[in-house]
Chains A and B, each alone.
Chain A
């Protein structure tokens, strides 16, 4: 299972990469594998204020529909428009081209409270 160390994770299987006060959010390799082939991604509107833990996106796969939660509080500043035509990017490139949305985070320091790669690996282990 691929868990890059250059970012942080949530227990609900989102990854977060922080650059300045802008956080890019996607779902982990484990999450995309569990969901199966993704057929549709519903993304939030730019400008929306979200709380940490709030459901902000929905990923539909051939198996199920699953909420994606905002790992940090902030304002949605950009969404990955290419997922409208190519939702399969979430499966093929979860940590790159399959990113979901970007947040301008209210409190960048909270990034440190998210799970690092080894802590997230333990979360997966417990789930399996």
Chain B
């Protein structure tokens, strides 16, 4: 399992084959497909026998750490269990084609329609689009809605600034910039929440929106949220809710009721569809009625017993993704919602919060520092005991078979370990994790040399992060 792992291209041997597809026979492919679409030289595909391919992928998968192999408390990512039932449901739809006549895919459209309705109800929004392909894409969509709204009121030129707290997910300022805004940072108070006075001082006629996540990235509920939103609305400022942390409050509090105008959700977090490995994710966007006219087209509407695509939205910002979004992800989220029901979703949030608080208390007893030590929501931020670094603790965890927590984020806490256990972990798992974290702390303090060289058991040891950043090799290329 150790060491170098050749790619399929490097394992390739000229002429080797697995299955041999039948010949196309006497068909004139150029006439059929268009001469422009014909290759002048064959694609450089790897050539292998079937068993080699099976071994390649099986061995690759054995190097994987995921929620199916171990506890994965990656803060802000909500790495909960992805039920196999959702996978089975998604598999029923794999033969659909997006160009099919809508009449022939009424069941699929019904799922899209009902999922729009469920997400609107869960978040307290009036209309939902399922188009965005993932969270940051949802953020961009939401910020474009806000921009279109201000433009429709003749305030597009004037309202160019988006306020973002210094604890925000990095995607928030990035999405604002992508949507053409200028970002201004708002400092957090000593309690880890947005400083209301700083925020009030930053509000003005040039401000278009505030992007917030609640609970925030410290896992703390913004207790002054109603005052904060009221102050913003009085100045014509729109409120954006980053739904990354929705798992903390689902069924208990609705962003729409708090006063948020637009929200994105991460189906791959809160609604338990797979994520990691590049997705696909899904980042639906919900909007209040005044922003609904700008939503991307099409959405799905219902007329009597029929479901159809609705393109009738003259003020739309346009299409945000080809076809209708990541439909397979929608089926999984839909299945999850139907399996749990309203009571089950509410209970899953409660258990996520309970697990986070249990772990927060136990890690504190184990010597970890909790800088904002109060009742948290679904996640919390800890710091390693004196003398230890977050990076070293993270690397040591690999040797014990755990995926590390999020580290060095949020930026407002030094040596941050951001831990989110989710509701799907048992008390036994959490207890085992605490035992390991305590051992890492003790051993690391006794033997700094040991911890600074972890991990010892992984296929590759400490990676050269500087070279990886400066000279990234994003794909394999043949040596010319």
Distance (Å) between the CB of A61 and the closest chain B CB?
9
Could you tell me the distance between the alpha carbons of A52 and B458 in the complex, rounded to whole angstroms?
48
CB–CB A64/B466 < 8 A: no
Distance (Å) between the CB of A128 and the closest chain B CB?
9
CB–CB B470/A64 < 8 A: no
Which interface class (under 10, 10 to 19, 20 to 34, 35 or more) fits A? 10 to 19
Q: Does A122 contact B (CB under 8 A)?
A: no
Distance (Å) between the CB of A77 and the closest chain B CB?
25
Q: Which A residues are in CB contact (< 8 Å) with B409?
A: 64
Could you tell me the distance between the alpha carbons of A78 and B466 in the complex, rounded to whole angstroms?
26
Which of B170, B414, B466 has a CB less than 8 Å from the CB of A39? B466
Q: Does A116 contact B (CB under 8 A)?
A: no
CB–CB A40/B411 < 8 A: no
Q: Does B118 contact A (CB under 8 A)?
A: no
Could you tell me the distance between the alpha carbons of A54 and B314 in the complex, rounded to whole angstroms?
41
CB–CB B466/A37 < 8 A: yes
Could you tell me the distance between the alpha carbons of A57 and B480 in the complex, rounded to whole angstroms?
39
CB–CB B411/A62 < 8 A: no
Beta-carbon nearest neighbor of B170 in chain A:
A65
CB–CB A62/B470 < 8 A: no
Distance (Å) between the CB of A51 and the closest chain B CB?
14
Beta-carbon nearest neighbor of A127 in chain B:
B414
Q: Does B408 contact A (CB under 8 A)?
A: yes
Which of A60, A64, A87, A88 has a CB less than 8 Å from the CB of B411? A64
Within 8 A of A (CB), among B449-472: 465-466, 469-470
How many residues in B have their beta carbons less than 8 Å from beta carbons of A? Answer: 10
Q: Does A11 contact B (CB under 8 A)?
A: no
Distance (Å) between the CB of B194 and the closest chain A CB?
19
Distance (Å) between the CB of A73 and the closest chain B CB?
19
Could you tell me the distance between the alpha carbons of A60 and B170 in the complex, rounded to whole angstroms?
13
CB–CB A60/B469 < 8 A: yes
Within 8 A of B (CB), among A45-64: 60, 62-64
CB–CB B470/A39 < 8 A: yes
CB–CB B466/A88 < 8 A: yes
Within 8 A of A (CB), among B393-437: 408-409, 411, 414
Q: Which A residues are in CB contact (< 8 Å) with B411?
A: 64, 66
Q: Which A residues are in CB contact (< 8 Å) with B466?
A: 37, 39, 62, 88
Beta-carbon nearest neighbor of A87 in chain B:
B470
CB–CB A37/B465 < 8 A: yes
Q: Which A residues are in CB contact (< 8 Å) with B469?
A: 39-40, 60, 62
Distance (Å) between the CB of B80 and the closest chain A CB?
27
CB–CB A40/B470 < 8 A: yes
CB–CB B408/A64 < 8 A: yes
Interface string of B202-245 (1 = CB under 8 A from A): 00000000000000000000000000000000000000000000
Could you tell me the distance between the alpha carbons of A11 and B469 in the complex, rounded to whole angstroms?
29
Interface string of A58-93 (1 = CB under 8 A from B): 001011111000000000000000000001100000
Distance (Å) between the CB of A56 and the closest chain B CB?
15
Could you tell me the distance between the alpha carbons of A66 and B173 in the complex, rounded to whole angstroms?
13
Output the residue of B391, B411, B414, B469 with the most chain A CB within 10 A. Answer: B469
Could you tell me the distance between the alpha carbons of A65 and B470 in the complex, rounded to whole angstroms?
14
Could you tell me the distance between the alpha carbons of A64 and B170 in the complex, rounded to whole angstroms?
10
Q: Which B residues are in CB contact (< 8 Å) with A88?
A: 466
Q: Which B residues are in CB contact (< 8 Å) with A60?
A: 469
CB–CB B408/A63 < 8 A: yes
Could you tell me the distance between the alpha carbons of A117 and B319 in the complex, rounded to whole angstroms?
56
Interface string of B166-177 (1 = CB under 8 A from A): 000010000000
Could you tell me the distance between the alpha carbons of A63 and B414 in the complex, rounded to whole angstroms?
11
Could you tell me the distance between the alpha carbons of A64 and B409 in the complex, rounded to whole angstroms?
8
Beta-carbon nearest neighbor of A34 in chain B:
B414
Beta-carbon nearest neighbor of B463 in chain A:
A62
Distance (Å) between the CB of A41 and the closest chain B CB?
11
Q: Which A residues are in CB contact (< 8 Å) with B470?
A: 39-40, 87
Could you tell me the distance between the alpha carbons of A66 and B409 in the complex, rounded to whole angstroms?
13
Distance (Å) between the CB of B414 and the closest chain A CB?
8
Interface string of B317-342 (1 = CB under 8 A from A): 00000000000000000000000000
Could you tell me the distance between the alpha carbons of A116 and B414 in the complex, rounded to whole angstroms?
25
Q: Which A residues are in CB contact (< 8 Å) with B414?
A: 34
Could you tell me the distance between the alpha carbons of A64 and B391 in the complex, rounded to whole angstroms?
13
Distance (Å) between the CB of A62 and the closest chain B CB?
4
Q: Which A residues are in CB contact (< 8 Å) with B391?
A: 63
Beta-carbon nearest neighbor of B470 in chain A:
A39
Distance (Å) between the CB of A36 and the closest chain B CB?
8
Could you tell me the distance between the alpha carbons of A88 and B288 in the complex, rounded to whole angstroms?
48
Could you tell me the distance between the alpha carbons of A39 and B170 in the complex, rounded to whole angstroms?
18
Distance (Å) between the CB of A90 and the closest chain B CB?
12
Interface string of A9-47 (1 = CB under 8 A from B): 000000000000000000000000010010110000000
Q: Can you report 5 residue pairs joining A to B where beta carbons are below 8 Å apart? A: A37-B466, A39-B466, A62-B466, A66-B411, A88-B466
Q: B: which residues have CB within 8 A of A?
A: 170, 391, 408-409, 411, 414, 465-466, 469-470
Given A39-B465, A62-B469, 19 other A-B contacts at CB below 8 A? A34-B414, A37-B465, A37-B466, A39-B466, A39-B469, A39-B470, A40-B469, A40-B470, A60-B469, A62-B466, A63-B391, A63-B408, A64-B408, A64-B409, A64-B411, A65-B170, A66-B411, A87-B470, A88-B466
